[in-house]
Amino acid sequence: MSLLEIRNLGIHFHTENGVVEAVKGISIKLEKGETLAIVGESGSGKSVTGLALTRLLPEPPARYVSGEILLDGRDVLKMKGDELRKLRGKRIAYVFQEPSTSLNPVFTIRSQIAEALKLHRPEVKDLDAEIIKCLDLVGITNPAQRLHDYPHQLSGGMQQRVMIAMALACQPDLLVADEPTTALDVTIQAQIMDQFRDLRSKLHMAVILITHNFGIISNFADKVAVMFRGKIVEYGPTAEVLRNPQHAYTKALIQCIPRLGARQHRLVTIDHAALEAAS
Amino acid sequence: MIAYIIRRLLYVLPIVFGVMLITFILFFVMQTRETMAKAQLGPRAKPAEVKNWLHERGYDKPVVINAAWADPAYHHTDQPWWDSIFINQMKNFATFELGESDFNREPIGEKIKSGMVPSLMITVPAMFVGLFLAVALALVQVLYRASALDTGMTVACAVLMSIVPMAYIISAQNLMAITLKWLPAFGFDLQGWGTIRFLMLPVSVMAVIYLGSDVRLYRSIFLEEIAQDYVRTAQAKGVSGRGVLFKHVLKNGAISLITLVVAHLPLLIMGSLLIENFFGIPGLGGLVVNAIQKQDFAIVRAAVFIGSLLYLFGLLLTDICYAVADPRIRLS
Ligand SMILES: Nc1ncnc2c1ncn2[C@@H]1O[C@H](COP(=O)(O)OP(=O)(O)OP(=O)(O)O)[C@@H](O)[C@H]1O
Ligand SMILES: [Mg+2]
């Protein structure tokens, strides 16, 4: 049985300006320890898909109109509140894009990580020791001194490491990282991606990496799903998709990756009108 | 932090001086001292009576400086140059000497001290009951947001807000005092625990008067917090809806609430004009209204002085509470 299987998932938002069809019948399969990248432009439904895995979308306005999300064969969309809460953080954990706003500004690092531990791992007696272990794992130097810091006392890269430590504290089977490096500067981005790679193999986690940057996935993801306007237009092993893209949109995205040393004088842009006509 | 507080306290001096200066100017722009005396003595008062009245209250001195060139009509050659109404008043306020009532020469300090007690007995419980109720109701609305309950409560708040305060006062008196005869409709007597009987009605009416608008305001504060990213993080950790609301949202929302609430705390001493008037509470609110009606400027002046001090103190208190509650804020 796969760790995660999404079948024909459809999600609508009922807003004042009408119905937004954010996700239109997508299917994805993910095995234990595997890494999937979901790539696509802004508004294509990547984040909505990620949040749907534990039903984190606010309902209303969100509505799950079709399909199922099977985690170890059990449908998340049929679960009750209590079961869902046991899933969140414990089996599926998240790292979000903006660490500075995703951490609660008025609680210390310690209390925010401890909250997850108390919920899902009540057997942990020495919280401080466990939290220090987590912070150490994500490469925070002097973790013991950081425990009582507030988020604003840390740099953006450090904040994101804290987010990762918090996500890993309960040893999830699947980590959903939604543009985890977009808000960080380039050198820190590379460090954080290395950290993910390292942790993934250490902890045998499956990872879903959501990004609009094709460049960072080639040596990171086993599989890639390309999303365009709420649909998956291309899905397959990363190397294959990169070598031989089928869909016009994927080709355009791959062309957009700026290559070092390439004789390119202008950045390639995507012609939406042409794509629209094609699909 | 200590240095900051000391600096802020030093700012109080020029601000209060400015307020008192403006108040002083307004009094003398609005009227002459003779009309002031006649307002108390009656329009037929003899010049000698007026003169005596002014002399007793120190109003027969020059306005700003005791010098022939500044105010020849009231110049007192036997007194030093600083013996003027303005300088005397400022000197008195600087030493917290509030002086005597223009009306019957009773010491104002005593009046304020005795008025403060009933005022505080109404405003402090009313403010805490009101705050507690409003926060609790707002949290219920946010917990069940976008449900029929939420809508119903919003409508109820709008109804509460559109009823004039007088209607609350009269209907409360009518129901509890006249029909049911449970509580006195009017009056106040300091008699230990028995005092509570006189407090119940005014306190509950005062708490209810602002309830509608407070609930709406707090609801919007909490809803704003609910939309923040850290709420999604907490949910993604598996924290329950209640846990998110009562721990994460409440603490962040409380920081916004502090500005609204703490600045008002010191002013509670001044009492509520409306409530004290209609429930016959001998508090500071009533004292000031009476003074205005009787044109007792000495009392009005003292009230302005105390009010501005309390207001500034409230602002300082707000900043301190802010710094204590919000780790991002450092006072310097
Ligand atoms: N709470 C919401 N209410 C209404 N519409 C929403 C809501 N959340 C998402 N949407 C809509 O769903 C669509 C997909 O949004 P989503 O956030 O998944 O995009 P994305 O692929 O993650 O883009 P980005 O790269 O900008 O993060 C968008 O059209 C968006 O407007
Ligand atoms: Mg997104």
Give B263-315 as a 3 state SS string. Answer: CCCHHHHHCCHHHHHHHCCCCHHHHHHHHHHCCCHHHHHHHHHHHHHHHHHHH
- Residue A214 Cα to ligand 2 midpoint, Å, equals 15
* CA separation for the pair A99, A78 (Å, rounded): 31
* Set of chain B residues whose Cβ sits within 8 Å of the Cβ of A103: 230, 233
Nearest to B59 by CA among B289, B293, B39: B39
* CA separation for the pair B286, B308 (Å, rounded): 18
pLDDT of A47 > 60? The answer is yes
- Secondary structure of B16-80 as H, E, C letters: HHHHHHHHHHHHHHHCCHHHHHHHHHCCCCCHHHHHHHHHHCCCCCCCCCCCCCCCHHHCCCCCC
Tens-digit pLDDT string for chain B (332 aa): 888 889 988 989 999 999 999 988 888 777 788 888 888 888 888 888 888 888 888 888 888 887 777 777 777 778 887 788 888 888 888 888 888 888 888 889 898 888 888 888 889 899 999 999 999 999 999 988 888 999 999 999 999 999 888 888 888 888 887 888 788 777 777 777 778 888 888 899 999 988 999 999 999 999 999 989 999 999 999 998 888 999 999 989 988 888 888 888 888 888 788 888 888 888 888 888 888 888 888 898 899 999 899 889 888 888 888 888 888 888 77
Q: Work out the minimum CA distance from A165 to partner chain B, whole angstroms.
A: 12
Q: Which residues of A touch B (CB under 8 A)?
A: 51, 54, 56, 60, 81, 85-90, 93-94, 96, 98, 101-107, 115-116, 119-120, 150, 152, 163, 166
- Residue B250 Cα to ligand 2 midpoint, Å, equals 27
CA-nearest residue to B251 within chain A is: A106
- Between strands A231-237 and A62-71, the pairing is unpaired
Which residue's CA is minimally distant from atom 6 of ligand 1?
A: A13
* CA separation for the pair B191, A247 (Å, rounded): 87
* CA-to-CA dists, residue A165 to A137, A172, B50, angstroms: 7, 11, 83
pLDDT at res. B150:
92
Which residue's CA is minimally distant from atom 28 of ligand 1?
A: A43
pLDDT at res. B73:
76
Q: What residues pair up with B305 in beta bridges, in sequence order?
A: none
Q: DSSP of A38-74, one letter per residue?
A: EEE-TTSSHHHHHHHTTT-S-TTTEEEEEEEEEETTE
Q: Encode pLDDT of A98-153 as tens digits.
A: 888 999 999 999 999 999 999 999 998 898 999 998 898 888 888 888 899 999 99
Contact check, Cβ <8 Å, A106/B251: yes
- Residue B233 Cα to ligand 2 midpoint, Å, equals 14
Predicted ipTM of the assembly: 0.86
Q: Which two tokens stand for residue A34?
A: 């595997």
Contact check, Cβ <8 Å, B252/A90: no
For ligand 1, whether the C-beta of A211 sits within 6 Å is no
DSSP structural state of residue A267: -
Which residue's CA is minimally distant from atom 14 of ligand 1?
A: A45
pLDDT at res. A99:
86
Which residue's CA is minimally distant from atom 18 of ligand 1?
A: A45
Interface test with B, best of A79, A92, A104 (most B CBs within 10 A): A104
* CA separation for the pair B9, A210 (Å, rounded): 54
In which element (H, E) is residue B119 found?
A: helix B108-143
Task: Among A158-162, A167-171, B13-17, B70-74, name the one with the lowest average pLDDT.
Answer: B70-74
Which single residue is written with the structure tokens 């993934």? A200
* CA separation for the pair A136, B250 (Å, rounded): 31
- Between strands A18-30 and A62-71, the pairing is unpaired
For ligand 1, whether the C-beta of A15 sits within 6 Å is yes
Of the pLDDT bands very low, low, confident and very high (cuts 50, 70, 90), residue A261 is low
